[in-house]
Amino acid sequence: MSGKIDDKTYLKYLFQSLNLKELKQTCKDLEIKGYSKYKKADLIDYIIDSMSDEEIEEFLKTKELGFITKSIDNAIDIINGTGRESIDGIKIKDPDNHEIEIDFKGFNWETSSYLSITKDNIHDPERDCDCRIGSEGGLCNHFWVGFIFSLIQKYFKISDWKMTKIPKDLEKKIKTISISKVSTEVGEKDSKRKTPESVTMVDESSAMSKISKYLDSRVTIYQGEINKIDERESVFEGHKSKYYLLDLDKVKIGPQIKKKSDYDEKEIEEISKLTIRLGEKGYNKVSLNVGDKISCNGALTKDNFFGLLLKRSTSIKKVK
């Protein structure tokens, strides 16, 4: 690794992205003894203190790119709407100093991340995140979302980045990601002063980009192939009920129409995956199996856990 960070500090950043099980496996791989009594924070220090400078150098040489690539791929999943979290908002706090704040929302949690990459700090950017990894200085998925945003904003050039290794195909992976800007004026007395600039970041090739216009509205699934059926149980006010989650592949989707003459081929989008939530009564009306192709209507939503989810499904039929 080149730059102003010493290898031990940098390795500590990388180790933050590993869970306890992965850290213990690292100990086994490195033949480090006496690690079982440590919790994560202390275990990271113990591992690094147990390694010679030569071992650290070799470890970074062989493992660094794998760690970085995994985190960047997770960040791209967040951007394109397939991750366990979604972007809830992006604000450019100070464009001159490249200061950005990004809010994330998960199934039952929220995270806020700050990043500033400038020519003066590019060796170790100013950053802060309230997630478990980022709060310890680690290079979390949220950091890499901010990194991708800053790169697309041309806050720095990829050739100037020296802090970490970067996958050779990174620019190819993010070429379909675009940023849309929205500014809001504040105060009549100071019309030139603006609130932090709010922006959005979208992967135009993603399923979320293709069908965002249909979110929170009724749609028709013209065809989708079932690749998984998962039976679940919910409890509400002491009453238990079954429901089913159907994972579909190769999905053709469009707005729900009232009559056949309203059908417009131009409105149909094809996405790779979609999950359907189906009540027990609706499920039992049709004998469904993995591999079946089906059509149905329903309300399309973005779920922070399941991703694209079709609820209140009706008119389920098998199609050839």
In the beta sheet, which residues pair with residue 99?
A: 94, 116
Mean pLDDT, range 41-69, rounded to an integer: 94
End-to-end CA distance of the chain: 56
Better-scored residue on pLDDT, 112 or 187:
112
pLDDT at position 263: 84
For residue 194, the SS3 value is strand
Would you say 305 and 244 are in contact if contact means Cβ atoms under 8 Å apart? no
- Average pLDDT for residues 107-136, to the nearest whole number? 94
pLDDT class of 181 with cuts at 50, 70, 90: low
CA 184, CA 163: separation in Å to the nearest integer? 35
Stretch 185-197: mean pLDDT, rounded?
A: 52
Residue 207 pLDDT: 66
Contact 27, 42 (CB under 8 A): no
- Determine the Cα–Cα distance for residues 308 and 281; give it in Å rounded to an integer: 22
For residues 250-275, average pLDDT = 87
43 pLDDT higher than 90: yes
Q: CA 223, CA 294: separation in Å to the nearest integer? A: 5
For range 270-292, the mean pLDDT = 89
Of the candidates 113, 112, 127, the residue with the CA atom closest to the CA atom of residue 163: 127
E-strand stretches of the chain: 86-94, 99-105, 110-116, 126-129, 177-182, 197-203, 217-236, 239-255, 269-279, 293-303, 307-318
What is this structure's pTM?
A: 0.71
Fold for 209-318, please state it. OB fold (Dihydrolipoamide Acetyltransferase, E2P) (2.40.50)
Residue 81 to residue 77: CA distance in whole angstroms: 6
The stretch 41-65 carries a mean pLDDT of: 94
Question: Is the pLDDT reported for residue 183 higher than 90?
Answer: no
- Decide if pLDDT at 190 tops 90: no
The residues of the chain that CATH labels 2.40.50.1040 are 209-318
Range in 136-150, 245-259, 301-315 with the lowest mean pLDDT: 301-315
Residue whose structure tokens are 């099980």: 21
How much is the pLDDT for 248? Answer: 93
For residue 191, the 8-state DSSP code is T
pLDDT of residue 182: 55
Q: How far apart are CA 127 and CA 112, in angstroms?
A: 11
Q: What percent of the chain has pLDDT over 90?
A: 59
pLDDT for res 186: 44
Residue 204 reports pLDDT greater than 80: no
Gap between the Cα atoms of 216 and 301, Å rounded: 5
Tokens for 100, please give them.
Answer: 């950005």
pLDDT value at 304 more than 90:
no
Encoded tokens for 236: 């509400």
